[in-house]
Chains A and B, each alone.
Chain A
Amino acid sequence: MSDQGSFDGQRVSRRDFLFTAAVGGGAALGLSLVAAPAHASNKMPQKAVKYQATPKGNARCDNCSLWQTPSACKLVDGTIEASGWCVLYHQK
């Protein structure tokens, strides 16, 4: 016997209710967890982009399109040296 009846019926099946409740509850829990994190930022950790405090040839943070004076980057977290470099370097 197929279980078609319980899925195509005209009422909410218990299984689907529990499933959607679990997914919805999980999502709500997740959102509440991330609502106020200790370090809210969508920038990359310096390590993740192989940031170094020294330039790579002529490529340095203060001539990169992502540079934000005096010592920050649009995409990389933390204090950034003007003379630094990372894999996201893109000349201005």
Chain B
Amino acid sequence: MTDKGLIRSLLASSAITFIGIVAFGVHRPAAALPAFAEQTGQACASCHVGGFGPQLTPFGREFKLGGYTLRANHFNVPLSAMAVASYVNTKRDQEEPPTPSSKTNDNIAFDEGSIFLAGGVGSHLGGFAQVTYDGADKAWAWDNLDLRAVGTGKIGGKSLVYGLSLNNNPSIQDSWNTLPGWGYPYTDSGLAPGPDAAPLISGGLGQAVLGMTGYVWIDSKFYLEAGGYSTPSRGTLRFLGADPDDPGNIHGIAPYGRAAFQTDLAGGTFEAGLFGLRAALFPGRDRSSGFTDRYSDVGVDASWIKTLGSDTLTFNGRYTHEKQSLNATCALGMADGSIPAGPLSACADDTLNEVRGDVSYYWRNAIGLTVSPFSISGSANPIIYTDNRTFRPNSSGVEFQLDGTPFGRGKSPLGPRFNMRVGVQYTAYARFNGARVNYDGTGRKASDNNTLRVFTWIAF
């Protein structure tokens, strides 16, 4: 059996086992809510702020931390699906079409469609696996994965949940909406312009790695997690629809750690935490330089959520600091002549800082307004940021979102399984790729990338 075959068999047998366990739990036909809502007997709004999307209520966090095992019925169909379509307009035309089949402005597109296998089996196993058709790439690929084995007990008289998560994106297993995996914005478009620089943990390894983390959740207050990530083989990633060379393969294991404290505060639920990831990558899987690109990400985060009658107010924020030593990228560039020869440290060593926050108010879990400022800044590097006139990665701005979710409480005329959110986003850039004006040397302003997006998002 080839290595590709081995892993394919492993994944296939795991999936079959998972589906099989679910199927053998059949006692009665499914009710009619999306998989987790149906499983718990709860309306979407019990777990999700605004009754839709990934922003979790404190109960939703508990459900996730409990390994998705909470169940009010004997069985439900563990399948869900969703689709997103949008219209994207930028203040000034983009310089090139973002994809071969799109235009430089005013794109109407099917962003993505996903199918989820999602459910809990007994008291100890649960999770979800998502496959997505990307409208920009026009291809299917694996998407978020979070499979858990959990147990519960007592420690010092306090409740204890402990578990393992097998997942494919550092922070996708997190239960707060502060970290990149499930942070705002909860929907975006591949056809909209965006800053070039971001810390590795902000999505850089998503669906390019596979990792396992172990965690404990004590007294619904203290969360501790540690684990590591590695890169599946090129053949496996290709089989899963991912680009096997982007961003490269991890040398050894990339350790990930997370701690959080949650408590009641001012009538709401407050959380503060720390997170970190270290990774040494062979960029594009090229080991020939003998070096790796090293990334050290550390961050702090905080959130607060408060119910105000039938309304909900939320805050999420995080700060990430990244130290980069891009020795491999620089050595490879110097070897092929694309980077001028010089001291490796002058090219390789950089820092990045990312600050993101969002405040949302949801009226009756139906109408929501979100304001989300963001800032990315870092050291100047004329070699790495050669396309930026200032040679800096700095971008900043604010995003606004107004959305409506008419059926988040399970009252859709098309049945309780059907849910929909429609919304308008506006992203205003103060800085983009290093500057406010003429950021790329061609006279383009940061505000030329200001983006209006109108989206429809359905789930069933």
Interfacial residues, chain A to chain B (CB-CB below 8 A): 1-4, 7-13, 16-17, 19-20, 22-24, 26-27, 30-31, 33-35, 37-45, 47-49, 65-66, 74-75, 87-88, 90
A40 CB contacts on chain B under 8 angstroms: 123-124, 151-152
A6 to chain B, nearest CB (A): 9
Quick one: given A12-B2, A20-B6, A30-B163, are A49 and B62 in contact (CB under 8 Å)? yes
B150 CB contacts on chain A under 8 angstroms: 34
How many Å lie between the Cα of A33 and that of B162 in the bound state?
A: 10
Tell whether B279 is near chain A: CB-to-CB under 8 Å: no
B125 CB contacts on chain A under 8 angstroms: 31
Contact, CB under 8 Å: B70 / A27: no
Contact, CB under 8 Å: A45 / B3: no
From B10, B41, B124, A31 is in contact (CB under 8 Å) with B124
Quick one: given A16-B233, A42-B120, are A2 and B285 in contact (CB under 8 Å)? yes
Contact, CB under 8 Å: A88 / B282: no
Contact, CB under 8 Å: B66 / A23: no
From A1, A34, A47, B149 is in contact (CB under 8 Å) with A34
Contact, CB under 8 Å: A45 / B159: yes
Nearest 5 Cβ contacts at the A-B interface: A34-B151, A30-B164, A45-B159, A37-B151, A42-B69
B282 to chain A, nearest CB (A): 7
Q: Name A43's closest neighbour in chain B (CB-CB).
A: B70
Tell whether B190 is near chain A: CB-to-CB under 8 Å: no
Q: Name A31's closest neighbour in chain B (CB-CB).
A: B149
A4 CB contacts on chain B under 8 angstroms: 234, 285
A9 CB contacts on chain B under 8 angstroms: 2-3
Contact, CB under 8 Å: B166 / A41: no
B456 to chain A, nearest CB (A): 29
Interfacial residues, chain B to chain A (CB-CB below 8 A): 1-4, 6-7, 10, 40-43, 46, 58-59, 62, 66-67, 69-72, 120, 122-125, 149-154, 159, 162-164, 166, 210, 212, 214, 219-220, 230, 232-236, 249, 282, 284-288
From A23, A34, A45, B124 is in contact (CB under 8 Å) with A34
Q: Name A87's closest neighbour in chain B (CB-CB).
A: B59
From B3, B164, B219, B285, A16 is in contact (CB under 8 Å) with B3
From A1, A8, A23, A87, B166 is in contact (CB under 8 Å) with A23
How many Å lie between the Cα of A81 and that of B90 in the bound state?
A: 57
Contact, CB under 8 Å: B6 / A37: no
Contact, CB under 8 Å: B233 / A23: no
Contact, CB under 8 Å: B6 / A75: no
Contact, CB under 8 Å: B212 / A23: yes
From A1, A20, A33, B10 is in contact (CB under 8 Å) with A20
Contact, CB under 8 Å: A90 / B153: no
A24 CB contacts on chain B under 8 angstroms: 10
Contact, CB under 8 Å: B66 / A44: yes
